[in-house]
Structure 1
Amino acid sequence: MAALAAAAVLTDVAIAVWDTMLDHWPVVAALAACACAYGTWRLSRSLRARRERSERLAALRLTLTQIDALDDRQFEHALRDLLIRDGWQARQVGQQGDQAADVIGQDRQRGRIVLQAKHTTVGGKVGVQVMYQVKGTAGPVHRADHAVVVTNGSLTRDAMAWGDRHRIHWIDRDRLRRWAEHGLPLHELLRLPSRTPRRGRSGESAGRPGRARPAL
């Protein structure tokens, strides 16, 4: 009975509101037009801001002097923006407990990439321990197809050699200049392969059947 009474009350209220709207339809129409105009303006503004940001990122260039002046978090955001400039969908994820991933990017052709950012002094060096950490988490934890250690300093010989042997890419100060300042796309700088399998005439992937790509 209580439910029926409540339904009856709601029905009466709805009828009363509808009658009021009919009696004052010019005001209702004007309010609806204003709401539509405001929504259109907000959408146009959002799209314009997004387009302007995309245009800025497409022309993004960062000098090493600018990069050296950044703090750790700003450096991560800069790497994210450089990835976006190069066509990746990227986000900054670095925080405490990030498991050796500061920026993660996704590309339709090249898969997922994980960047470990190491902002340091100009003379600072990144050791091989960082390579161990990235190797241990890039594939198993982050499901990455590519992993990169990026620094505005340099890396030790052991770190570079170990990274080359175990498919952990690295970007030192010289490579960072070519990427951030000269505008060379990351996939060209590191010669990243496409993960899209080539198709034969039968529609099956070329190469040996059943052989999977080795994980990081």
Structure 2
Amino acid sequence: MRRPRVRLRRPRGTVEVASACVVGVAVIVLAVRVVVHAAAVLLDAWPVVPALAVLAGAATAWHTARSIAAGQAAAERLAVLRVTLAELDAGDDRVFEEALRSLLIRDGWGARRVGGRGDQAADVMGEHARLGRLVVQAKHTTVGGKVGVRVMYEVKGTAGPAHRARHAVVVTNGTFTRDAMAWGERHGVHWVDRDRLRRWAENGVALHELLELPARASRLGRAA
């Protein structure tokens, strides 16, 4: 069925012309009122608008400067040491642990390899003046291999009591199960999977920045 066409026609007669004029005037008055109201609102808020613009510009400049600084720091770290995932995959457990130790040293940690029998779930130990002590459990596996939640239990159980560490990290060149990642997030055991390992070893992001490790409280803060 064809839809009927609507055709507009000009007003006819005095009454229709007058009605059209009244409607037109009303529309014009309404439009003027809207414009006046908008102008009044802008005039009332004019000190706020420039302030917001300044704040937005400052925030943009801060983020830009921070990104540039982070890029420069990463480039400096990579100039010291860069390890590819292919190199990590090709090595054995000991090579993997030594590489993690070297990466921590590159990032400003005093680190040593402690892996072996009786290591109590700590393959690498790190010390940082601002961040405290860190223990790393290294899990070298085949590409696509998954680390389960049991490893998280073990690291959580020994990091503080046995090693007096503030931070516990499990690093693998594979992946983690969902349960392992969820349990680690809930109980403060950090995890570094293949994607995060690439950012750390190949892209130059420091481990503590990657994991957003909190600094320990200053002595002044503890005294207060």
Q: TM range, normalised to the smaller chain?
A: 0.5 to 0.7
Is the 1:57–1:84 contact (alpha carbons within 8 Å) kept by the matching residues of 2? no
Distance 2:189 2:142 in 1: 22
For 2:195, the aligned partner's letter is D
What are the Cα deviations for residues 54-73 of structure 1, in whole angstroms up to 9, with x where unaligned? x9986201111111001000
Name which one, 1 or 2, has greater alpha-carbon Rg.
2
Q: Residue 198 of structure 1: CA displacement?
A: 7.2
Pairing of 1:66-215 with structure 2 (within 5 A): 66-197=87-218, 199=220, 204-205=223-224
- Report how far residue 170 of structure 1 moved: 0.3
Residues 58 and 84 of structure 1, relative CA distance in 2, 3 Å threshold: farther
The Cα of 1:80 is off from its aligned counterpart by: 0.2
Q: Which runs of 4+ in 1 moved over 6 A?
A: none
The two structures, once aligned, show a CA RMSD in angstroms of 1.8
CA 1:122 to 1:177, structure 2 compared with 1: closer, same or farther past 3 Å?
Answer: same
Please state which structure has a larger fraction of its residues in helix.
2
Q: Which amino acid aligns with 1:95?
A: G
Distance, in Å, in 1 between the alignment partners of 2:213 and 2:77 is: 25
Structure 1 residue 97: deviation in Å?
1.5
> Which amino acid in 2 is paired with 1:65?
A
Aligned residues: 149
- 1:178, 1:104 → 2: CA distance? 21
Aligned equivalents of 1:57, 1:180: Cα separation in 2: 8
Q: Shift in Å at residue 178 of structure 1? A: 0.2
Letter in 1 for 2:80: A
1:176-211 Cα offsets, whole Å, 9 max, x none, are 0000000000110000111033746xx933xxxxxx
Aligned residue identity for 2:130: Q
Gaps of at least 5 residues in structure 2 are: 1-75
Per-residue CA deviations over 1:139-191 (Å, capped at 9, x if unaligned) read 00000000000000000000000000000000000000000000000110000
Give SS of 2:141's match. Answer: coil
